[in-house]
């Protein structure tokens, strides 16, 4: 799933240091699961797409500096869930930066443990996605008729 809609994850991609520090549980979900591309060189076509793929490696998240976000996942539900929680994590981080105060960054040990707990949480991505689909079915069912 590729996204470059102007949300807080794009603001993060525009910072010289685009790392997302583990300052709360949503950001810890992406600890050691994110690659950063600081070499934006235009549209992701041809060789640029291959370069991005190499940078992604075995990580599910590629934050493309000056551009956007790429989420790789085995299902739409997982990709959406990662995209959703990455946005929440960016929201907290950008808001915390705006205070100008020092960040309280968790230790690598705590961040790694919390990340593992997220990944081992049974069925959480499908439950989240299905709940959102139920809301969409109720509020905007016309989407099912679109091609």
CATH number of 2-121: 3.40.225.10
pLDDT at 53 over 90: no
**pTM, whole model, 2 decimals?**
0.86
d(CA 80, CA 86): 10
Give residue 10's pLDDT band: very low, low, confident or very high (50, 70, 90). Answer: confident
Length of the chain in terms of residues written? 147
Show the tokens assigned to 63: 């934050």
Distance CA 36, CA 20 (A): 10
Asked if residue 81 has pLDDT above 80, the reply is yes
């Amino acid at each position: 799933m590729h996204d470059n809609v102007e949300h807080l994850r794009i603001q993060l991609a525009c910072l010289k240091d685009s790392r997302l520090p583990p300052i709360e549980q949503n950001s810890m979900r992406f600890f050691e699961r994110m690659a950063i591309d600081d070499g934006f060189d235009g549209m992701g076509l041809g060789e640029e797409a291959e370069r991005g793929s190499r940078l992604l490696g075995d990580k599910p998240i590629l934050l493309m500096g000056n551009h956007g976000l790429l989420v790789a996942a085995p299902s739409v539900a997982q990709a959406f869930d990662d995209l959703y929680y990455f946005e929440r994590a960016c929201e907290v981080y950008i808001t915390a930066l705006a205070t100008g105060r020092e960040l309280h960054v968790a230790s690598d040990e705590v961040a790694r443990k919390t990340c593992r707990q997220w990944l081992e949480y049974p069925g959480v991505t499908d439950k989240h996605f299905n709940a959102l689909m139920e809301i969409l079915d109720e509020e905007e069912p016309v989407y099912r008729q679109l091609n």
